[in-house]
Amino acid sequence: MLELKNVSKKVGRDLHIDDVTMTLEKGSVNILLGPTLSGKTSLMRLMAGLDRPTSGEIVMNGTNVVGMPVQKRNVAMVYQQFINYPAMTVYENIASPMRVAGVDGATIDRRVREAADLMKLSPYLDRTPLNLSGGQQQRTALARALVKDAELVLLDEPLANLDYKLREELRVELPKIFAETGAIFVYATTEPQEALLLGGRTATLSQGRVTQFDRTIDVYNSPSDLLTAQTFSDPPMNILPVTKTGADFVFDASRIEVPAAIAGLGDGDYKIGVRPHHMSLHQPQGKSMKLDCTISTTEITGSESFIHLQSRGVHMVALMHGVHRVEIGDAISAYLDQENLFVFDRNENLVFAPGLNGQG
């Protein structure tokens, strides 16, 4: 069990990690989700012991490990860049942590071959890493992390530089492989999708702060505040500033009935959040809000189209299936479905999430 207690890290005048407290259970999959520069790597480096926190405690199985040299900790780490020892063969690369630990030759051989099998590296054991493809190089690094049998396995965007086929394959296999070792598994990613696919627990990071740490699906369904909701949505969640008057949320000339569960909310300013795939260009069946928009950009990926809308100075994105032919500058009506509204109060804390009512 790894506990971080009020951990902060300052570099010069910049605060890289801001008062992080979290507990990672043995044998769990933990995901650090956040955009670049949100502090994922910094946090991992603190967990690994490569950096020393400016303040706070890092406790591993009841012992404070702050200041303990990284060689003495039982951790494994894989970087986004493919980091191997170029002067050694793939076999020696995978064997290296065991060689240092003084494991006997027969055991080393058995475990290297096991790990190479799992990572589909068996034909390449005699090559040097620079003669391998990027995917094979990264799998070498993963195999080296695997044979170490570490208590804490840190993977820092390990699949970001791989092509998507390989990425999908490894994304499914990695958590399984490492779950068998019973290690604390920490996985950093910038992609909300990846977090959802991996499951486990997710910590959303924003500017060095952990905004929420909970079961991945719970963080997705009921983000505790606006920042978490925006981190855990790609493209970002659409935010509409509204005023509650009586039974309606009002935005300019548009209005929508307040969901029944929070009908008792006081009047005032609120923010409505809608995920892009819940925006619609056709009037939905239930209660909805109609917005008059103009189209500012469209991005067509084939099976999906992102349509960027502008309404009274608010920028929104709607995700549509299929290819939609729309002209930039066209006026169009967009609809927000009442059943998919997230409602945040003035302090950007969540007051209502659709998932909470069992509607998902």
Partner 1 sequence: MNQTSHTQPNAGSMNKPANLIDTSNVRASNRFAKKSITRWLVPGLYILFLMLPIYWLINMSFKTNQEILSSFTLFPAEPTLHNYTVIFTDPSWYTGYINSLIYVGLNTVISICAALPAAYAFSRYRFLGDKHMFFWLLSNRMAPAAVFVLPFFQLYSAFGLIDTHIAVALAHCLFNVPLAVWILEGFMSGVPKEIDETAYIDGYSFPKFFVKIFMPLIASGIGVAAFFCFMFSWVELLIARTLTTTDAKPISAIMTRTVGASGVDWGVLAAAGVLTIIPGALVIYFVRNYIAKGFALGRV
- Report the residue number, 32 or 48, with the smaller CB distance to partner 1: 48
- Report the residue number, 71 or 285, with the smaller CB distance to partner 1: 71
293: which residues sit within 8 A by CB, 6+ positions away?
Answer: 309, 310, 311, 316, 331, 332, 333, 334
Neighbours of 19 (CB within 10 A): 15
Do residues 321 and 303 lie in contact, with contact meaning Cβ atoms separated by under 8 Å? Answer: yes
36 part of the interface to partner 1, by CB under 8 A: no
Stretch that binds partner 1, among 30-38, 55-63, 78-86, 172-180 (CB under 8 A): 78-86
9 part of the interface to partner 1, by CB under 8 A: no
Both tokens of residue 85? 């020892």
Stretch that binds partner 1, among 69-77, 197-205, 256-264, 275-283 (CB under 8 A): 69-77
Q: Which of 70, 130, 172, 260 binds partner 1 (CB under 8 A)?
A: 70
Instruction: Please give the backbone phi and psi of residue 88, each rounded to the nearest 5 degrees, phi first.
Output: -110, 160
Q: What's the number of CA atoms in the CB half-sphere (13 Å) around residue 288?
A: 17
130 part of the interface to partner 1, by CB under 8 A: no
Do residues 343 and 270 lie in contact, with contact meaning Cβ atoms separated by under 8 Å? Answer: yes
71 part of the interface to partner 1, by CB under 8 A: yes
- Report the residue number, 60 or 210, with the smaller CB distance to partner 1: 60
75 part of the interface to partner 1, by CB under 8 A: yes
Sign, CA torsion 277/279/282/286: positive
**Alpha carbons 237 and 37: distance in angstroms, whole number:** 20
Both tokens of residue 196? 């959802």
As beta bridge partners, residue 175 has none
96 part of the interface to partner 1, by CB under 8 A: yes
138 part of the interface to partner 1, by CB under 8 A: no
Residue 225 DSSP class: B
143 part of the interface to partner 1, by CB under 8 A: no
> Least CB distance from residue 85 to partner 1, whole Å?
5
79 part of the interface to partner 1, by CB under 8 A: yes
247 part of the interface to partner 1, by CB under 8 A: no
Burial class (CB in 10 A: 0-12, 13-18, 19+), 163: exposed
Residue 262 DSSP class: G
11 part of the interface to partner 1, by CB under 8 A: no
- Report the residue number, 50 or 281, with the smaller CB distance to partner 1: 50
**Which of 204, 244, 211, 198 is CA-nearest to residue 341?**
244
Stretch that binds partner 1, among 74-82, 118-126, 164-172, 309-317 (CB under 8 A): 74-82
- Report the residue number, 76 or 350, with the smaller CB distance to partner 1: 76
34 part of the interface to partner 1, by CB under 8 A: no
Give me the residues that bind partner 1 (CB under 8 A), please.
Answer: 48, 50, 69-71, 75-77, 79, 81, 83, 85-87, 96-97, 100-101, 141, 144, 148
